[in-house]
């Protein structure tokens, strides 16, 4: 139930976003490093993550933002070396506080909540589940024209899940990337 | 107020007095020799049975080579000694454990097959078993230790260099079969001197001295519900830690060992209690030549340790090791020298017997004149007399006169009521007399306790019960033999019979059943200790009934088997590649005056032989039953025969060695799949193995339900079983197959999870 409330809240945020003051929408490309050692044993250090994000200013210097991303990787099981595929679709919402450093240059920090949909498929199993988590983030916003802005973003996420008895995982980790934002 | 002041001022004295009451200052006797004269003896190990008899094994020189001797000692006296190895190779480093029937099970190192192997033998109602080669591998197997759990499963550990370096191997006998060998010290470079103990829940505890980076530490591992824990370093010292001894009691684990640096060596002690190991403590004090500790735990979790120590001061003087003892009762008490002689005393072992007394044996003297010495720590014994019948108004006299002090010292008596019927005001006439009295004033049961002391040692309590009804006596019969030869004198003993009311008993022995032609009688059949001479071979059932003057006991039956001749034979080996040559040697025990005329052998492959010692070569693979017929020199030809079923196995190919199974987790990020990794090693006696076959069955299935799960080529020594069902465990076997398709017997390993 909470999962659906979160998605409704996300949609409402997007609609408000469309009708509020300064709005930003953009595309994101980054690298997602999952911190769980079990992930490293099977998939290595991580892979590219991409997606879209939207934000708008609700108060002076405070933005509310939402994002949807996609992450996938391919690996081998630890003993039998069988091929396995793993995907995450993270939905996130949060707030960030901006500090002007120079004209057209801002730094920010903030935090929020996440809902991770994940799926892992092997030769004889198919795990599908979703889990709540939270994140902290920081970054730099650099205006490159009147309508374009670059967002250099760094994010730490923690999302604990228990897909099976005796199996406890952390889907979160450290993520860094860049967004190109259109202001309208 | 004044009373409080007085108590405060005297608190130290009162505490000392209480300490004296709490700490029994048990006394040690003068050591006595228990090994046969004229045989130099070494490395004694022993176990104590439920009658407090000592079963001692040791190696001794006999006819030029070392043999394993087994002696039974009762009340400090040597009852008998036998040579149990009796072969052409040197036999050393024995260890012994007793099963729930007090039968001895013995292991030792035997060199009769060329390399050093671990041999195992046991005694049962049918006599001594045939020795089994437990290690049966090409390496040297040394320092075995044996332990038996409450289900009479046999557990053996030893050090073995089959894989190049010395490792700790473990093997068990359970459900009437031997399980395959498990290597317990795979990640440790060199491992020596294992010791083993079983706790009340049948968990196994094993410790040994091992080296990973050049320094020896004490390692510990536990087997609980079929699973092994991770190997743990419990000494963790920068000095060399060697020669561990381990004991378990009430869930606690106690370990002592020798810590060595250059010319110094001390005895260290640690304990696992309340889920943690305590920091090791030095218990041998400032002396610097302490070695070979042994540990035992008595009631109340009191710790007793013995070790050998040389206290000669000058480096130039000749060494003189003595046996030292130290105990822990809430704190470590002072160290005592319990051998205290001028000869070298070494290799002590300590055990607690059923009366909570301590027994210690050790090797004493030089290489050529060493004997096995024995010492016992004793306390006076309280005997409050037999339970009695008594009615209201009866005058009851108690009898403490059967109490005694093993050292013959004068004893003091302390009688007290433990319980009496409600409303009774009965008092003892003199609680400190040998035989106080009282009058029953209320009908019911009176329980009176007696404690005795010899001014330094206090006894365990004994109680006497005064009933208001007569109870039937209980007959208990024993004999000095349960298997005997015709004409042999068998001593019967009814002295363990008793009457709950303490009435004196009369005895009646009879023969309930006997072989058809027997006319044997029990001489003096109304005495407590009659004797019996069987006159025919077969089974006899003797019966004892006791009477307290009013009531008969239930009959107590005593079964015995009588043989005319006891014949046996040994063979040089029981398995090998074809053609296999085996030497057989007949052994005949009899008290008959007739001589043996001939020995006839049936080797089971259609061929026969004659003579006391013969050699035979088996040409074809197969399992052969061997029979020996002994013919007596008499007017009529009388023969005696012994057959050993499936004794010789001649194979074309041997099974692989060291089969082991490890349960592993095949992990993806969100899912765990369990797989079993089966490993084995090549048997160096095989010449052309082209493949190995792996079979599997469930824990609850029979041996004929093994299913072939894989075949791998002859250069592969592991297999991953991916198809694990939801079961309790599996039994795996691996076989070798040669280029002609001949398949070996099965080398087995069981895993439970």
Each residue's pLDDT tens digit, B403-435: 887 767 788 999 999 998 888 999 999 999 999
Would B442 be classed as within a structural domain? yes
Would B505 be classed as within a structural domain? yes
Q: Which of B671, B673, B675 is nearest residue A120 as measured by Cβ atoms?
A: B671
In sequence order, which residues have a C-beta less than 8 Å from that of residue A182 and are 6 or more positions away? A24, A25, A26, A147, A148
Q: How many percent of chain B have pLDDT more than 90?
A: 36
Domain boundary among the residues B139, B156, B173 is at: B156
The distance of B660 to chain A (nearest Cα, Å) reads 18
For B713, phi then psi, to 5°, come to -75, 165
CA distance B273 to B367: 41
Would B355 be classed as within a structural domain? no
pLDDT at B17: 40
Contact A78, B669 (CB under 8 A): no
Q: Which of A41, A82, A167 is nearest residue B670 as measured by Cβ atoms?
A: A167
Residue of A nearest to B677 (CA): A79
pLDDT in tens, B709-722: 999 999 999 999 98
Contact B177, B153 (CB under 8 A): no
Asked if B670's CB is within 8 angstroms of A118's CB, the reply is yes
Extract the tokens encoding B580.
């296999």
For the entire predicted model, the pTM comes to 0.47
**Bridge-based pairing state of the strands B538-547 and B506-513:** antiparallel
- Chain B residues whose beta carbon lies within 8 Å of the beta carbon of residue A127: 670-671
- Report whether the peptide linkage leading into residue B234 is cis, meaning its omega lies within 30 degrees of zero: no
pLDDT at B445: 86
* Residue B4 banded pLDDT, cuts 50, 70, 90: very low
The distance of B231 to chain A (nearest Cα, Å) reads 23
DSSP state letters, B715-751: T--EEEE----SSSEEEEEEEEEETT--B---EEEEE
Asked if A39's CB is within 8 angstroms of B669's CB, the reply is yes
Residue of B nearest to A77 (CA): B668
Q: Which domain range does residue B679 map to?
A: 657-752
Is the CB of A7 inside 8 Å of chain B's CB atoms? no
Is the CB of A36 inside 8 Å of chain B's CB atoms? yes
pLDDT at A60: 80
Mutation pick from B663, B666, B670 vs chain A, by most beta carbons of A within 10 Å, is: B670
Q: Which one-letter DSSP state was computed for residue B270?
A: E
Mutation pick from A131, A167, A173 vs chain B, by most beta carbons of B within 10 Å, is: A167
Q: B387 - beta bridge partners?
A: none
Residue of B nearest to A118 (CA): B670
Q: A105 - beta bridge partners?
A: A102, A142
DSSP state letters, B1-15: -HHHHHHHHTHHHHH
Is the CB of A75 inside 8 Å of chain B's CB atoms? yes
pLDDT in tens, B48-62: 998 888 999 999 887
Residue of A nearest to B672 (CA): A167
Q: In b/e form, how buried is each residue of A45-56, taking b as 16+ CB within 10 angstroms? A: ebbebebebbbb
The distance of A155 to chain B (nearest Cα, Å) reads 22
pLDDT at B1: 40
Question: Residue B681 maps to which CATH number?
Answer: 2.60.40.10
Who has greater pLDDT, B377 or B184?
Answer: B184
Q: Does the domain spanning A2-183 belong to CATH 2.40.160.20?
A: yes
- Where do the structural domains in chain A lie, given as residue ranges? 2-183
Who has greater pLDDT, B501 or B695?
Answer: B695
Q: Which of B669, B670, B675 is nearest residue A80 as measured by Cβ atoms?
A: B675
Residue of A nearest to B723 (CA): A124
Would B586 be classed as within a structural domain? yes
Phi-psi region of B365 (alpha: psi -120 to 50; beta: other; left: phi over 0): left
- Which class for B409: exposed (0-12), middle (13-18), buried (19 or more C-beta within 10 A)? middle
Structural domains counted in chain B: 5
Look up tokens 């398995």; give the residue. B575
Domain boundary among the residues B422, B437, B467 is at: B467
Who has greater pLDDT, B46 or B12?
Answer: B46
Who has greater pLDDT, B177 or B624?
Answer: B624
Beta strands in A39-170 (DSSP E): 47-59, 62-76, 83-102, 105-122, 125-143, 148-158, 160-164, 167-170
**CA-CA distances (angstroms) from residue B646 to B117, B625, B626, B733?**
22, 5, 8, 21
A182 has pLDDT over 80: yes
Would B351 be classed as within a structural domain? no
CA distance B331 to B281: 12
Helix, strand, coil share of chain B (percent; to 5) = 5, 55, 45
Is the domain of B94 the same as that of B117? yes
Q: Which of B596, B624, B599, B593 lies closest to B614 in space, CA to CA?
A: B599
Contact A83, A105 (CB under 8 A): no
ipTM of the assembly?
0.88
pLDDT at B576: 79
Is the domain of B731 the same as that of B672? yes
* Residue B84 banded pLDDT, cuts 50, 70, 90: confident
DSSP state letters, B615-636: EEEE-S-EEEEEEEEEEE-SSS
Question: Coil, strand, or helix at residue A2?
Answer: helix
Is the domain of B102 the same as that of B52? yes
Q: Which of A117-126, B308-317, B436-445, B627-636 has the highest average model confidence (pLDDT)? A: A117-126
Domain boundary among the residues B625, B651, B677 is at: B651
pLDDT in tens, B510-569: 999 998 888 888 989 999 999 998 888 888 999 999 998 888 999 999 888 887 766 788
pLDDT at B16: 41
Helix pair angle (B11-22, B2-9), 10° resolution: 60
CA distance B489 to A123: 77
**Which of B332-346, B478-492, B584-598 bottoms out in mean pLDDT, i.e. has the lowest?**
B584-598
Who has greater pLDDT, B738 or B208?
Answer: B208
């Amino acid at each position: 139930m909470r999962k659906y409330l979160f998605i409704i809240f996300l949609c409402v945020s997007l609609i408000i976003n469309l009708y509020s003051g300064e709005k930003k929408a953009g595309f994101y490309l980054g690298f997602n490093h999952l911190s769980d050692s079990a992930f490293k044993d099977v998939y290595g250090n991580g892979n590219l993550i991409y997606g879209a994000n939207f934000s708008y200013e609700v108060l002076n210097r405070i933005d509310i933002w939402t994002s949807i991303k996609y992450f996938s990787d391919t690996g081998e099981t630890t003993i039998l070396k069988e091929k396995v595929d793993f995907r995450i679709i993270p939905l996130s919402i949060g707030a960030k506080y901006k500090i002007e450093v120079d004209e057209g240059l801002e730094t920010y920090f903030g935090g929020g909540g996440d809902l991770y949909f994940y799926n892992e498929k092997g030769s004889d199993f198919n795990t599908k589940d979703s889990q709540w988590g939270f994140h902290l983030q920081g970054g730099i916003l650099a205006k490159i024209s009147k309508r374009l802005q670059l967002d250099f973003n760094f994010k730490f996420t923690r999302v604990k899940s228990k897909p099976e008895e005796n199996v406890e995982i952390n889907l979160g980790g450290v993520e860094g990337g860049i967004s190109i934002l259109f202001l309208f | 107020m004044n009373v409080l002041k007085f108590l405060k001022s005297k608190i130290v004295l009162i505490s000392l007095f209480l300490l004296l009451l709490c700490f029994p200052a048990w006394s040690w006797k003068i050591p006595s020799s228990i090994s046969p004269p004229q045989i130099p003896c070494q490395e004694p190990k022993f176990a104590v049975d439920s009658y407090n008899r000592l079963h001692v094994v040791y190696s001794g020189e006999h006819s030029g080579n070392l043999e394993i001797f087994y002696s039974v000692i009762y009340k400090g006296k040597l009852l008998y000694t036998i040579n149990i190895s009796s072969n052409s190779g040197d036999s050393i480093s024995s260890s012994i454990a007793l099963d729930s029937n007090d039968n001895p099970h013995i292991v030792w190192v035997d060199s009769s097959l060329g390399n050093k192997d671990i041999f195992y033998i046991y005694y049962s109602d049918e006599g001594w078993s045939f020795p089994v080669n437990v290690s049966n591998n090409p390496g040297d197997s040394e320092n075995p230790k044996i332990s038996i759990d409450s289900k009479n499963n046999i557990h053996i550990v030893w050090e073995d260099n089959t894989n190049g370096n010395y490792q700790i191997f473990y093997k068990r006998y359970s459900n009437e079969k031997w399980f395959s060998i498990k290597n317990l010290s795979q990640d440790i470079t060199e491992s020596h001197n294992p010791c083993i103990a079983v706790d009340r829940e049948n968990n196994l505890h094993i410790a040994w001295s091992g080296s990973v980076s050049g320094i020896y530490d004490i390692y510990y591992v536990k087997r609980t519900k079929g699973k092994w824990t991770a190997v743990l370093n419990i000494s963790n010292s920068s000095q060399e830690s060697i020669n561990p001894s381990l004991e378990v009691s009430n869930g606690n684990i106690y370990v002592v060992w020798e810590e060595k640096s250059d010319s110094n060596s001390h005895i260290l002690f640690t304990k696992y209690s309340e889920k943690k190991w305590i920091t090791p403590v030095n218990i041998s004090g400032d002396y610097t030549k302490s070695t070979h500790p042994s540990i035992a735990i008595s009631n109340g979790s009191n710790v007793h340790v013995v070790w050998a120590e040389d206290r000669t001061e000058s480096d130039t003087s000749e060494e003189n090791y003595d046996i030292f003892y130290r105990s822990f009762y809430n704190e470590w008490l002072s160290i005592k020298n319990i051998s205290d002689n001028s000869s070298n005393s070494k290799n002590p072992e300590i055990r607690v017997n059923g009366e909570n007394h301590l027994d210690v044996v050790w090797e004493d003297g030089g290489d050529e004149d060493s004997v096995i010495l024995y010492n016992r720590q004793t306390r006076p014994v309280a005997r409050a007399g037999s339970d009695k019948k008594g009615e209201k108004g009866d005058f009851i006299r108690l009898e403490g006169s059967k109490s005694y002090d093993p050292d013959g010292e004068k004893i003091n008596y302390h009688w007290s009521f433990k319980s009496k019927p409600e409303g009774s005001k009965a008092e003892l006439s003199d609680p400190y007399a040998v035989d106080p009295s009282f009058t029953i004033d209320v009908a019911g049961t009176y329980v009176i306790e007696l404690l005795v002391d010899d001014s330094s040692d206090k006894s365990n309590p004994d109680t006497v019960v005064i009933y208001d009804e007569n109870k039937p006596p209980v007959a208990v019969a024993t004999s000095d033999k349960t298997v005997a030869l015709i004409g042999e004198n068998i001593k019967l003993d009814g002295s363990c019979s008793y009457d709950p009311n303490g009435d004196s008993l009369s005895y009646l022995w009879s023969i309930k059943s006997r072989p058809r032609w027997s006319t044997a009688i029990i001489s003096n059949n109304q005495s407590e200790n009659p004797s019996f001479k069987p006159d025919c071979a077969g089974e006899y059932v003797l019966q004892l009934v006791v009477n307290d003057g009013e009531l008969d006991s239930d009959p107590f039956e005593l079964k015995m088997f009588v043989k005319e001749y006891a014949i046996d034979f040994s063979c040089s080996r029981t398995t090998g590649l074809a053609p296999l040559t085996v030497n057989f040697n007949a052994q005949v025990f009899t008290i008959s005056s007739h001589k043996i005329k001939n020995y006839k052998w049936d080797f089971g492959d259609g061929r026969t032989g004659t003579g006391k010692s013969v050699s035979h070569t088996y040409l074809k693979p197969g399992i052969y039953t061997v029979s020996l017929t002994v013919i007596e020199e008499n007017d009529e030809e009388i023969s005696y025969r012994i057959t050993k079923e499936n004794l010789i196995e001649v194979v074309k190919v041997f099974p692989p060695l060291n089969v082991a199974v490890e349960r592993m987790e095949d992990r993806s990020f969100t899912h765990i799949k369990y797989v079993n990794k089966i490993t084995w090693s090549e048997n160096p006696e095989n010449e052309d193995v082209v493949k190995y076959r792996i079979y599997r069955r469930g824990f609850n299935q029979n041996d004929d339900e093994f299913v072939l799960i894989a075949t791998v080529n002859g250069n592969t020594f592991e297999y991953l079983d991916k198809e694990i069902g939801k079961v309790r465990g599996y039994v795996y076997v691996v076989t070798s197959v040669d280029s002609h398709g001949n398949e070996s017997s099965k080398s087995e390993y069981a895993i439970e999870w």
